[in-house]
Amino acid sequence: MASSSSHAHNKNYVYDVFLSFSGEDTRKTFVDHLYDALDRHGICTFKDDEKLQKGKEINDELLQSIQDSRCYIIVFSKRYASSSWCLNELLKIMECHKTNGQTAFPVFYDVDPSEVRKQIGAVGHALAIHRNRNESEVGRWREALKEAANLSGWDVRKTANGHEAQVIKLIVEKVSLELWPTDSYVDENLVGMEQRMLDLDRSLEIGLSDIRMIGIKGMGGIGKTTLARAIFDKISINFEGKIFVENVRERASKFGLEKLQEQVLRGVLKDERISVQGVHDGRELMRKRLRGTKVLVVLDDVDCEEQLEELAGDPNWFKPGSRIIITTRDEHVLNKYTVKWIHDASLLSTEDAIRLFSKHAFRKNIPTQEYERQSHEVVRYAAGLPLTIKNFGFISPW
């Protein structure tokens, strides 16, 4: 199974999630809300078109969509087993789960897991519709229902005291961790980044429900923005709203802080209609509208306390679990704003500097023997600054 799981993570899939459900029971209720939540978290989800004809045999295109999905959410409901379409979807899902290591999560909506496992109660009545079909086919359906019901999932009526919104939140969080595990792949072109990200992870502590502001400080060209972007890409799936605000210093001077407030609000709330008429208006909108959202906000290249006051405000602006990451050249800005977690964006080691230069100058991890001495001289002159090293690599005559 270990090799199958590895295969599942390494393959390029068309969809992150395939939703299997009975449209009669859940399309306009639970599944509608679940699909919306997955979509808002950037999870590419396949949900069959409502126009598909009821009772039509499952087609090759749909079977391919199942195969091309990384995870499955099977929403078992009272009528699920009455649909041969749903049952054939389930057969394919369980085949991919067992053969390729793709993950299946059962959700029990208005039915008990034991009803699905034993095909009794409402599920048994639904399955009885197929009494005149081939016994072998029905037998395969029964086995798939039993296997799926034995997987770890959620009984909606018994989870979070039956609050569906909370159940959906738990499902999305679990699926997010499956799709993007905490030890996820780091772009090999980001030389020296893995340890920096690991150090930052220790301060972020995504699983905790407090609100944290984390600073990344260092001179220009040292890689603060690159680090912040890498960590943003890695952890953003864990948040309900997220925004990366680039070049705060330059853009605040050019456009005004109200435009950056507008960018934060629009990005986090996914509403392009939001308009901010002034800085005070922006503060009030952020205070009122963001407190119900668990956010990840990156403020890149901040150079004064006012920018933090207007764009990050008070921690009470945000929902517990939120994280605000600030990059700056000036540590005093972070100290004035009492940012508790402050990280130095360190210079590259000689080994990493050589590797970064070689990638850009020679398209290799180490310099060619012919230019080894010159490469070390360039790296020594660049003094561990990633941007300088990359620029030297780009203009290298070699």
What Cα–Cα distance (Å) separates residue 395 from each residue in 208, 351, 378, 390?
45, 21, 12, 9
Q: How far apart are CA 324 and CA 106, in angstroms?
A: 34
Let me know the angle formed at the C-alpha of 284 by 278 and 290, rounded to the nearest 5 degrees: 120
Nearest Cα to 349, choosing from 360, 357, 341? 357
Tokens of 367: 């310099």
3-state secondary structure of 225: helix
Q: How far apart are CA 211 and CA 101, in angstroms?
A: 36
Question: 173 an active-site residue?
Answer: no
Please tell me what DSSP assigns to residue 73: E
Element housing 214 (H / E): strand 212-217
Report whether 353 contacts 384 (CB < 8 A).
yes
Q: How far apart are CA 8 and CA 189, in angstroms?
A: 24
Q: Which residues on adjacent β-strands are paired with residue 299? A: 245, 326
Catalytic residue among 24, 50, 57, 89: 89
Q: How far apart are CA 188 and CA 185, in angstroms?
A: 9
Q: How far apart are CA 109 and CA 117, in angstroms?
A: 14
Q: How far apart are CA 240 and CA 36, in angstroms?
A: 12
Catalytic residues: 89
